[in-house]
Amino acid sequence: MATYTLNINGKSQTIEADSDTPLLWVLRDTVGLVGTKYGCGIAQCGACTIHVDGEAMRSCSLPISAIGEKSITTIEGLSADASHPLQEAWRQHDVPQCGYCQAGQIMNAAALLKNNANPSDEDIDSAMRGNICRCGTYNRIKAAIKTAAKI
């Protein structure tokens, strides 16, 4: 066990964990932020997507020892009051079915919009292809990303 100080959603937190513990389980089991989801554990489904210094990362494949000083944002910290344009758009389009993949979808889309404020269909397709939605809400995810780009 080692001690790490992480910056999560703007708050500094001290955590005891094995160095190989994926950030996903640190967030879920230790910090108690369960919005970030486990889907595959091998960076294939996107359910665990978070931001590390603003970039979308798969927290299931990111050991705690690799974070250092970098700032972490999870779905819980995307906005203070559910007012991020993507959250507004998700509400407007009523995107989720089961909802399990949606935090990862939103976090991945947020990183996309940060780099590309006005993405084309192809841009969205290629940025979002790492995020599986088993319920098949892809039509609405795409529409909501386009709506968010206009907000």
Partner 1 sequence: MVKKKYKFDRRSFLKLSAATGGGLMLGFNWSSCNSPQDVRPVKVMPKEWYDINAFLKIGDNGLVTIFSPNPEIGQNVKTSMPMIIAEELDVSWEDVVVEQAGLNDWFSRQVAGGSQSIRHGWKSLRMAGATAKRMLVNAAAKEWEIDPSECSVSEGVISNGKGDKLTFGAVAKAASTMDVPKEEDVVLKEAKDYKIIGTDRSNVDIDNIITGKPLFGIDTKREGMLYATVLRPPAFGQKLKSVDDSEALKVAGVKGVYKINLPLRQGPDRTVDKVAVVATSTWAAMKGKKALKAVWQEDTPLENTTNHKADLTRLVNSTAKKSVRKDGDPNKAFAEADEVIEKVFESPFLPHNCMEPMNFFAHVQADKVELVGPVQTPAWSRDRVVKMLGWIDEFDPEDKEAKKAAEEKAYAKVDLKMTRMGGGFGRRLFGDFVMDATQISKVAGAPIQLIWSREDDMAGGTYRPAIHYKLRAAIKDKKITGYHLIEAAVNDNMWASLAQSFPASAIANYQVDNHKIESNITTGAWRAPYTNFLASAEQCFLDEVAQKIGKDPIEMRLELLAEAKKVYDQHAKLEEEIKDEEKLKVAKKGLMPKGNYEPDRFIAAIKMARDKSGWNNKASGSHLGFSAYYSHNTYVAQVAHVTMVDDKPKVDKVTCVVDCGLVINPLAATNLIQGGVIDGIGHAMFGDFGFENGQPSMDNFNQYRLIRMPEAPQIEVHYVNNGKSPTGLGEPTLPPAGAAIANAFHSATGERLYRQPYVKESKVLG
According to CB under 6 A, which one of 23, 72, 84, 96 is a site residue for ligand FES? 96
Range in contact with ligand FES (rule: CB under 6 A) among 12-20, 41-49, 68-76, 86-94: 41-49
Q: Residue 124 binds what, of partner 1, ligand FES, none (CB under 5 to 8 Å, by partner type)? A: partner 1
In a 3-state reduction of DSSP, which class is residue 1?
coil
119 binds ligand FES, rule: CB under 6 A? no
Q: Residue 85 binds what, of partner 1, ligand FES, none (CB under 5 to 8 Å, by partner type)? A: none
State both tokens at 98. Answer: 């089961």
Give pairs for 12-21: CB < 8 Å, separation 24+: 15/64, 17/64, 18/64, 19/63, 19/64, 19/65, 20/63, 20/64, 20/65, 21/63, 21/64
CA–CA dist 138, 151 (Å, integer): 20
53 binds partner 1, rule: CB under 8 A? no
User: How buried is residue 144: exposed, middle or buried, by Cβ count under 10 Å (0-12/13-18/19+)?
Assistant: buried
* C-alpha 2: how far from chain center: 26
According to CB under 6 A, which one of 15, 34, 40, 66 is a site residue for ligand FES? 40
55 binds partner 1, rule: CB under 8 A? no
Binding mask 43-82 for ligand FES (x = CB under 6 A): xxxxxx---------x-x----------------------
State both tokens at 79. Answer: 């906005």
Number of residues that bind partner 1 (CB under 8 A): 63
CA–CA dist 119, 122 (Å, integer): 8
- Binding residues for partner 1, rule: CB under 8 A, are 1, 17-18, 21-22, 25, 28-30, 32-42, 44-45, 47, 74-76, 78, 80-83, 87, 90-91, 94-103, 106, 124-126, 128-142
